Amino acid sequence: MIDSVRNAPLLLDRSRWAGRRNFTVLHTQFDAGRRFIDTWSAWRDDPQRCERLHFVAVAALDSMTTPPVMADQPALSKLLADAWPMPVAGVHRLEFDDGHVVLTLAAGDAQSMLQKLWMRADSFYLHSAAFGETLPFVAKALARIAGDNATLCADAHPELPKALNDAGFKIDESSHYVNARFAPRWRVRRHKPPTAFPPAENKATRHAMVIGAGLGGCAITERLASRGWRVTLIDRHASPARDASGNPAGVFHPIVWRDDSIAARLTRAGFLYALHRWSVLEQNGHDLRRSRDGLLQIADSAEDALAIASAITRFGLPRAYINAVDEHEASRLAGQPVSRAGWFFPQGGSISPGAVCVAQCAVAGDRLTSHFGLQIDRIEHKNGVWTAFDATGRFIAEAPVVILANAGDAQRLAGLYGQPTRGVRGQLTVLDASPLDGLRVPMVGDGYAVPLDQHKTLTGATYDIDDTNPRIEPSGHIENLKRVGRMLPALNGFAPGTATLEGRVAFRSVTSDRMPMIGSLVDEPAARADAARLSGAWPLDLPRMPGLYGAFAFGSRGLIWAALAAELIAAQLEGEPWPIERELAEAIDPARFFLRALRQGEIV
């Protein structure tokens, strides 16, 4: 508990947030919600408050217990307790007051998490005693993300004055606690923290064109509309969710590997944020046809089952997130025999991608203008405005911001170097009255099986790279049944006539590293002209195309990544704290392949 800082004046100087679009506070040690609740209450009471309040707090993983209801703030603290996330490492985004108050919790080691956050803070609360002799490193971490004239309040510590001074903070006064202001007299950081894209600051220019009305494009539409953006949504089909997003159901679950890899951390962040956004849609009356009994994953081998069970224990993952299950427990959960042990995700399951897309467009309301049945042939940037044209050269739409969410066609429109994405054909098989009737929960592993109703099961899917065949093939049905049979032995020997089986073919887009492309696109001509200097560049060094973003190459994880992608792009446009660690954002940065080519000297 940070009593000295807790009892200090609310060091926000409300005149600083008056009339602001966004205002951001960072607390280096979450104190069971006390400082957040006080700040939220002050924001509510101030008629001159900022439009959106962001509060970012670092919380040790072992302190991620549900905060108590406070006697002096029962209503607000109850809302916080009800929204409290699962205690797993990473960044958690909680939204209140219709998204106007956002709490971003960074769960993990405080010093490590402070290095990973990417944001522009207007005010800091620092618990000096928690860091001791590492205060110089912490002060530099705060300086890296400090906005102009950012204020700081901290409990007094002998190491603090020098640490703050060396990091560019000017101490105003000192007593039981310390007040300081970020006012560097020399350069103290390589990059300035993120700012809003200029059109985002003006209501008249807060307009984006989103190309592609699948999971990615519809999620972006909803996230931007919630911030007051006008969105022009364009798709070549007659309605949303017609390509891979049009499958009758899709599975959602994170991944757990033997190490807590980038992919595992990304799917964890995407999974938890998607659950939050879907819950909001459902609370608003939208039926997403989401299953509620969990999802079972069957290990590829007995060795894998043991290794993942060990990883679950080693990482301290809670039972609400994942449980290792032996073959007998897995069979009980499935409602029929399974081939081997695995793990169970209580919050995983299946959902209708199309229902999600329709709901997201519906909540966008009159901020959304849709153009369906239109194929965009090219986009052009001139005088700060992006314009889209069809194949005849006819004008379709224009906006200061364009977001490419059109899967495999995105790299063509953007003209990306090296064509980093490839197409993947996926064929589904729908079984009617099969040995899988009565399957209780969706299952994944070598393939997947999703109960659609009592006598119908969705199975799949093939993964045919660079195959453009749109026809349903008997060989695809055979492959799907064999793969699911390796998880569910009851299917072995089941031989329906493949010509009579229902199916569907859809096409997805993937990259060589199987990570999506999410974020601002690089200005390749400008980077080429400066290739020698950029040969040792980092992502933040690269020039970017103003107002051009991408959210594509989701592969088979669109349900997991779409909502997080939309929130990340919205945060980048608005200059808000990012919803994931910077190293994770760099792993999905659309510029990563071009940056690799620069570093390897392929571009001169």
CB-based contact 153:126 (threshold 8 Å): yes
Residues 6+ apart with CB under 8 A from 601: 535
* Average pLDDT over every residue of 322-333: 98
- Three-state DSSP class for residue 338: coil
CA distance 196 to 573: 5
**Residue whose tokens read 């399957």:** 439
CA distance 513 to 507: 18
CA distance 412 to 407: 10
pLDDT of residue 4: 42
Summary mean pLDDT of the chain: 94
Q: How many other β-carbons are positioned within 10 Å of the β-carbon of residue 307? A: 15
Whole-prediction pTM value? 0.96
- In 3D space, the residue among 569, 564, 559, 94 whose CA is nearest the CA of residue 355 turns out to be 559
pLDDT of residue 11: 55
- Three-state DSSP class for residue 113: helix
Cα 350 to chain centroid distance, Å, stands at 19
- The torsion angles phi and psi of 3, rounded to 5 degrees, stand at -60, -45
Domains defined for the chain, CATH in brackets: 3-182 (3.40.50.150), 198-243+354-420+513-599 (3.50.50.60), 422-481+496-509 (3.30.9.10)
Q: How confident is the model over 252-287, as pLDDT tens digits?
A: 999 999 899 999 999 999 999 999 999 999 999 999
How is residue 175 annotated by DSSP? Answer: S
Q: How confident is the model over 521-568, as pLDDT tens digits?
A: 999 999 999 999 999 999 999 999 999 999 999 999 999 999 999 999
Q: How confident is the model over 101-117, as pLDDT tens digits?
A: 999 999 999 999 999 99
CA angle, residues 531, 532, 535, in degrees to nearest 5 = 80
What's the number of CA atoms in the CB half-sphere (13 Å) around residue 373? 1
CB-based contact 49:41 (threshold 8 Å): no
Percent share of the chain, pLDDT over 70? 98
List the beta strands (DSSP E) in 512-553: 517-522, 544-552
pLDDT of residue 177: 81
Checking if the pLDDT of 10 tops 60, the result is no
